């Protein structure tokens, strides 16, 4: 049975937001045909990121990963459509941008694994878990105070 309502959790990381790639990334998913069913911009806490990346807690890059991911606002989204999890991962490219083919998001827009601009769920199960983590139904998120951080990317 085709699951046209399959959902994946996609998140533009702080470097993607700061580099002004939000629109381009959203455009790729829109043009592909997936449907945007949730989106927000939040400055995530380390506590939330440690839960999000809990399966990587033992890896040597984990502290740096949490620090980078909490360095500014991110854009978590939920995209819906047939095979959205698997296709979403294909659209992202490989974890390391150097292994990502041109035409993929990581292949086109970034260079280093520690700054790979975007997250995408790796299975339907983890998508469900991540959507619950970032879009809890019982909680409203605050509005970002742009003035406190955005200008450092434009002016010295």
Given the complex with ligand DAT, which of 6 and 110 has the nearer CB atom?
Answer: 110
> In the complex, what is the shortest distance from the CB of residue 37 to ligand DAT, in angstroms, rounded to a whole number?
21
Q: Is 116 annotated as a binding residue?
A: yes
Given the complex with Mg ion, which of 4 and 123 has the nearer CB atom?
Answer: 123
How many whole angstroms separate alpha carbon 3 and alpha carbon 1?
A: 6
The answer to whether 52 is a known catalytic residue is no
Q: Is 96 annotated as a binding residue?
A: no
Select the span of 17-25, 39-47, 77-85, 116-124 touching Mg ion (CB under 5 A). 116-124
> In the complex, what is the shortest distance from the CB of residue 140 to Mg ion, in angstroms, rounded to a whole number?
27
Contact call for residues 105 and 13 (beta carbons, < 8 A): no
DSSP bridge pairs for 78: 9, 38
* Burial status of residue 20 (CB atoms within 10 A of its CB: 0-12, 13-18, 19 or more): exposed
Closest residue to Mg ion, judged by C-beta, is: 122
How many whole angstroms separate alpha carbon 137 and alpha carbon 117?
A: 26
Question: Catalytic one among 97, 119, 120, 134?
Answer: 119
Q: Is 28 annotated as a binding residue?
A: no
List the one residue out of 11, 91, 20 whose CA is nearest residue 43: 11
Residue 7 binds: one of ligand DAT, Mg ion, none (C-beta under 5 to 8 A by kind): none
Contact call for residues 71 and 14 (beta carbons, < 8 A): yes
Q: Is 4 annotated as a binding residue?
A: no
- Give me 65's structure tokens: 């990963």
Annotated binding site for ATP: 13, 61, 89, 95, 106, 116
The residues annotated with a catalytic role in the active site are 119
Residues near Mg ion, by CB under 5 A: 122
């Amino acid at each position: 049975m085709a699951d046209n309502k399959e959902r994946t959790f996609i998140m533009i990381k702080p470097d993607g937001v700061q580099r002004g790639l939000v629109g381009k990334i959203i455009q790729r998913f829109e043009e592909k045909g997936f449907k945007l069913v949730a989106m927000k911009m939040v400055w995530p806490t380390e506590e939330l990121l440690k839960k999000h990346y809990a399966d990587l807690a033992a890896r040597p890059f984990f502290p740096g990963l949490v620090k980078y991911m909490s360095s500014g606002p991110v854009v978590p989204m939920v995209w819906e459509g047939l095979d959205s999890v698997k296709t979403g991962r294909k659209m992202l490219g490989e974890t390391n941008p150097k292994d990502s083919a041109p035409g993929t998001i990581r292949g086109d827009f970034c260079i280093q694994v520690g700054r790979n601009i975007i997250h995408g769920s790796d299975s339907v199960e983890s998508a469900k878990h991540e959507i619950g983590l970032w879009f809890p139904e019982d909680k409203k998120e605050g509005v970002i105070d742009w003035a406190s951080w955005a200008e450092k990317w434009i002016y010295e």
